[in-house]
Amino acid sequence: MKFTGKTNEHFEILNISSSNQELISQKNDGLLSLIWFEEDNNVLNIDTKEYILNKNQIICLTQFHNVEVVQVHSARALLFNAPFYCILDHDSEVGCKGVLYYGSPSVPVLSPSPDDIDVLSTVWQMAVHEFKAADSLQLEMLQMMLKRILILCTRIYQSQDNFDHMDTGQIDIVREFNFLVEQHFKTKHSVSEYAELLNKSPKTLSNLFGKLKSSSPLQIIQSRIMLEVRRLLRYTDKPVSEIGYDVGFNDVQSFSRFFKKNEGISPSEYRMA
């Protein structure tokens, strides 16, 4: 089921099985996706990392992820572009920027509760039903269904990632930090640079991320740099020195030391593995 609007709006709901699993790995410029797995033991390699995804787990992917499908038994997926619904322009409506999309270096994996699954299933079916209503209100109704799904998934992710220890203002700082890292990781490598952009102190950022009991701000920055480097080493033929310059290192020696400290081997050895 696909909706295509007059100004390039694109919204699509798919059923995925082993017979069409390659649809997950297709590069679709500008499309964000949300994939809800319906059986156990689905295997994807996303940006060189293996993910084993089980029944009712949900992942969110951007156009920048490199996906290799090893095995998908059954899943449902939705895809949408910015003309249909821009999560950056409408962040105040859904709050998923820096959480579901354009945030953590790792892929967000959601594990909804039985109650969450009941609600998501109902909204999903309502969205499916709206594809049959080809009238002047269809675009607005489909956007409404997508917003509800994104809000529900944002709540699920926040509840499982210790965001309940923070107030709304603190959550917004964490989300904005994640998004700023996504924008500037190639040129800004220190926590103090992001603290300045947020008008906060580095200590404030460290304390906030400490409440999440996850990666520190510096670890998030470095993980995002490493993600980009792995992508470039695995999926391009760029020389190692050029890759280092691309992510903000002035000389290949500093870049190689950084990579080896984080990966355990040199960039050249990683590319050959």
Question: pLDDT, tens digit, for every residue of 95-111?
Answer: 999 999 998 788 999 99
Kindly indicate the confidence band of residue 85, based on its pLDDT and cuts at 50, 70 and 90: very high
pLDDT at position 189 is 97
270 pLDDT higher than 90: yes
Which structure tokens are listed for 219? 């670890």
Reading phi first (left if > 0) and then psi (alpha if -120 to 50, else beta), residue 268 is in alpha
Give the pTM: 0.91
pLDDT at position 199 is 96
Across residues 236-264, what is the average pLDDT? 95
Same structural domain, 109 and 184? no
The answer to whether 175 touches 98, Cβ cutoff 8 Å, is: yes
**Structural domain that includes position 10:** 2-161
Calculate Rg over the CA atoms of the chain.
Answer: 20
Residue of 77, 79, 184 whose CA lies nearest to 194: 184
Same structural domain, 136 and 176? no
- For the packed helices 168-184 and 191-198, what is the interaxial angle rounded to 10 degrees? 120
Enumerate residues 6+ apart whose C-beta is below 8 A from 143: 11, 84, 85
Same structural domain, 192 and 148? no
The answer to whether 230 touches 244, Cβ cutoff 8 Å, is: no
Burial classification of residue 200, based on how many CB atoms lie within 10 Å of its CB (0-12 exposed, 13-18 middle, 19 or more buried) = middle
Of 161, 187, 202, the domain-final residue: 161
pLDDT at position 163 is 81
Bridge partners, 109 (sequence order): 59
Percent of the chain with pLDDT over 70: 100
Same structural domain, 174 and 157? no
Kindly indicate the confidence band of residue 27, based on its pLDDT and cuts at 50, 70 and 90: confident
Same structural domain, 9 and 90? yes
pLDDT at position 219 is 95
Same structural domain, 157 and 172? no
Q: What is the pLDDT of residues 146-201, one digit of tens each?
A: 999 999 999 999 888 778 778 889 999 999 999 999 999 999 999 999 999 999 99
The answer to whether 250 touches 241, Cβ cutoff 8 Å, is: no
Same structural domain, 172 and 156? no
Same structural domain, 121 and 172? no
Kindly indicate the confidence band of residue 48, based on its pLDDT and cuts at 50, 70 and 90: confident
The Cα–Cα gap between 192 and 201 comes to 7
Which structure tokens are listed for 245? 């310059």
Kindly indicate the confidence band of residue 213, based on its pLDDT and cuts at 50, 70 and 90: confident
Q: Count CB-CB contacts under 10 A for residue 78.
A: 22
Same structural domain, 143 and 175? no
Of 161, 186, 220, the domain-final residue: 161
pLDDT: which is higher, 133 or 34: 34
Residue whose token pair is 């020389």: 239
Same structural domain, 120 and 191? no
Kindly indicate the confidence band of residue 93, based on its pLDDT and cuts at 50, 70 and 90: very high
Pairing of strands 42-46, 74-80: unpaired
Which structure tokens are listed for 203? 């200590």
Residue whose token pair is 């470095």: 222
Of 98, 133, 161, the domain-final residue: 161
Kindly indicate the confidence band of residue 214, based on its pLDDT and cuts at 50, 70 and 90: confident
60 pLDDT higher than 90: yes
What are φ and ψ of residue 109, in 5° steps?
-115, 115
CATH of the domain at 214: 1.10.10.60
Average pLDDT, the chain: 93
